[in-house]
Structure 1
Amino acid sequence: MAPAHSTTKTNPTVEPLDGALGRINIDEPRWDQTTYEGRAKHFFTITNPLNLLKGDKELEEARRIVLGYKAGEKVPGLTVDKLWNAKHVYDSAFHPDSGEKMFILGRMSAQVPCNMFITGMMMSFYKTTPAVVFWQWVNQSFNAIVNYTNRSGDKPITNKTLGTAYAMATTGATATALALNALTKKAPPLIGRFVPFAAVAAANCINIPIIRQRELVDGIPVTDKTGELKIGESSLAAKSAITKVALSRICMAVPGMVLPPILMNYLETKTHFFKRYPWAPAPLQIAVCGACLVFATPLCCALFPQRSSMKVSQLEPSLQKIAASHGIDEVYFNKGL
């Protein structure tokens, strides 16, 4: 899908919106979302931790600009760059389906600072049972917030569903970590350092399907390419969306939970660094995790288009008939994050 506006040889950043560029379709991201590069650029903007520093006044101003522009209002002095900057701030804080302001810890811009701290601590204190239980609980508490905040569609998640997902993911992650710790006691130290990653991967496979189980039962909205014609609610589309999200989350954890253990094991076994600086392991792991997550978070979010698609032939028979009546052979849906 090509960008909604074309570039010019003049400076496009100060091009008036009523000028040669015409109307810009801000319902679509600024960059081509059919390419990985375009999706990566998009997610680098909405996962940017600096977006967390935007106050309510700035967020509401961005919302006013975006909604006003979509409604056809003319904003004096508004340029292409100002419009897109407002759209990126809006996307970082407001849900794409409901339009509601998201809880700050559930926003994608909170992923890097929150995960770098939690992951660093999980990998620093992975040997004792109390530490494993505590940090897996903290991690799954944060994951539950993210999953709830970024759920697909506008269907509310009940407290019962949220509690079930939270309890089962925490139990699954903790049990995995404790079992693997027991199995790897006689293994090389490096193997034990990978236990937190295995626990996180297992928890993602539990947490995401449960937190979004209502979507699996009732389905998520599927539309035509323009998004204006709603075909219906598809459980098969929800299954596809949830699978993609789980894979992205696991891939997102790989750099920050695989590279630091290798570095830490080297410093511990091959050097005297930690003997000289015994306070360094946790801060160092947090810093290295942060450096990895700055790139891993947007790059892994970009693995699959957020507005994903599937062939009509893969839908439920009832929806296939509706789509066929409109001459549609492919439908689109928000996969969530």
Structure 2
Amino acid sequence: MASSVPGPIALPESRFDQSTYWGRVRHCAQISDPSMLLTTEADLAKARSVVSDYRHGLLTSATPAFWKAKKQLDSTVHPDTGETVFLPFRMSCNVISNLLVTAGMLTPGLGTAGTLFWANQSLNVAVNSATANKSDPMSTRQLVTNYTVAVSASCGVAVGLNRLVPRLKNITPNTRLVLGRLVPFAAVVSAGIVNVFLMRGNEIRNGISVFEQNGDEVGKSRKAALLAVGETALSRIINATPVMVLPPLVLLRLQKSVLKGKPVFAQNMANLGLVGVTLFSVLPFALAVFPQKQSIDVSKLESELHGKKTHDGKKVSLVYFNRGI
């Protein structure tokens, strides 16, 4: 993000009002804009230069060039490290990366092997790791351990639910069919929650950095970390719900009407189209439920953070932290 560029002058958080949900939706639509995948290292170097000029007072107003530079950095660079996020794991690539996986999960009649292949949460593990708060990074050993547990949990949930539905009694065949189509939703949601908490467990155990208004670190807070990780897990549920529920139910209806008797290829293309439209439509709304940069009253955090003062001697009453995406 642009906030990774140092300077004495604070940056405007967004060109849209982040205190309103609609303002956050518009901001999230920008950072998840797939056209940002075309941003080159030369573009980023130029963007950093423009933002640096603003932060040092050489650029006195937020010009269109400034907003373009900020958008490029916000969608491509990690706010804590200043490093470029690997392309497949950026929010601007989220729809494209997840389209294939989601479509595969929603394919009717998946067997155990197919469920294991598509339910594998490797992509989400990578995204959660790449976009997490980096004030307390994991070691390679922790990353490998958490990855193994997260993938095992996601596959176990998916296979378990897939085997449970056919054994349910006292339900109609149509209800069993609908439940079978919704198994991927339950698997993705439950595994996604496990995934987020495992991959960001260090933050909860050790705390994340919280900052005063001018960007100076006040200390680390486990309570802020729990809030950040919990909200991220909830946003994953909000994002997955329409994507994993609407397409399979709409496809089920289409298979009884216009797609009845059509080749499997046509049905898969219809499925892919439904998933793609839903993904593109809901992502900004899901990301915007909780602000990425959040403030919290110091009184709600650990006692050791109470009474902290700024460099000019003022008592810190409000601190800020990066929730992660």
The alpha-carbon distance between structure 1 residues 81 and 316, as it changes in their structure 2 partners (threshold 3 A), is same
Residue aligning to 2:299? 313
The alpha-carbon distance between structure 1 residues 322 and 25, as it changes in their structure 2 partners (threshold 3 A), is closer
- Alignment check: 8 A CA contact 2:307 2:316 kept: no
The alpha-carbon distance between structure 1 residues 126 and 133, as it changes in their structure 2 partners (threshold 3 A), is farther
Residue aligning to 1:199? 187
CA distance in 1, matches of 2:20, 2:59: 32
Residue aligning to 1:16? none
Residue 56 (structure 2) pairs with residue 71 (structure 1): yes
Residues 115-134 of structure 1: pairs in structure 2 closer than 5 A: 115-124=98-107, 127-134=110-117
CA distance in 1, matches of 2:210, 2:12: 16
- Alignment check: 8 A CA contact 2:259 2:267 kept: no
Residue aligning to 2:21? 36
Residue 220 (structure 2) pairs with residue 238 (structure 1): no
SS in 1 for 2:15: coil
Residue aligning to 1:296? 282
What TM-score, normalized to structure 1?
Answer: 0.85
Identity %: 35
Deviation, structure 1 residue 271: 1.9
Deviation, structure 1 residue 328: 3.0
- Alignment check: 8 A CA contact 1:308 1:332 kept: yes
Deviation, structure 1 residue 27: 4.5
- Alignment check: 8 A CA contact 2:105 2:184 kept: yes
Residues 1-337 of structure 1: pairs in structure 2 closer than 5 A: 26-73=11-58, 80-124=63-107, 127-137=110-120, 140-185=121-166, 188-224=176-212, 226-268=213-255, 270-271=256-257, 273-322=259-308, 326-337=314-325
Deviation, structure 1 residue 239: 0.2
Deviation, structure 1 residue 79: 7.1
Deviation, structure 1 residue 74: 5.1
- Alignment check: 8 A CA contact 1:306 1:335 kept: yes
- Alignment check: 8 A CA contact 1:63 1:86 kept: yes
The alpha-carbon distance between structure 1 residues 130 and 323, as it changes in their structure 2 partners (threshold 3 A), is farther
- Alignment check: 8 A CA contact 1:125 1:132 kept: no
SS in 1 for 2:295: strand
CA distance in 2, matches of 1:332, 1:136: 35
- Alignment check: 8 A CA contact 1:274 1:280 kept: no
CA distance in 1, matches of 2:216, 2:20: 24
Deviation, structure 1 residue 208: 1.1
- Alignment check: 8 A CA contact 2:10 2:214 kept: no
- Alignment check: 8 A CA contact 1:307 1:333 kept: yes
Deviation, structure 1 residue 154: 3.5
Residue aligning to 1:7? none
Residue aligning to 2:5? none
SS in 2 for 1:157: coil
- Partner letter of residue 50 of structure 2? I
- Partner letter of residue 245 of structure 1? T
Deviation, structure 1 residue 156: 2.4
CA distance in 1, matches of 2:200, 2:287: 18
Deviations 1:114-140 (A, max 9, x none): 112210111115620000011112xx1
- Partner letter of residue 141 of structure 1? S
> Root-mean-square deviation (CA), in Å?
2.3
- Partner letter of residue 43 of structure 1? C
Deviation, structure 1 residue 192: 0.6
- Partner letter of residue 226 of structure 2? K
What TM-score, normalized to structure 2?
Answer: 0.88
SS in 2 for 1:275: coil
- Alignment check: 8 A CA contact 1:116 1:287 kept: no
Number of equivalent positions? 309
CA distance in 2, matches of 1:79, 1:209: 38
Deviations 1:177-213 (A, max 9, x none): 1111112115521111111111111112211111112
SS in 2 for 1:260: helix
SS in 1 for 2:149: helix
- Partner letter of residue 87 of structure 1? K
- Partner letter of residue 41 of structure 1? R
- Partner letter of residue 190 of structure 2? A
After alignment, is 154-163 or 230-239 more displaced? 154-163
CA distance in 1, matches of 2:44, 2:308: 39
- Give unmatched runs, 5+ long, in structure 1: 1-23
CA distance in 2, matches of 1:79, 1:319: 34
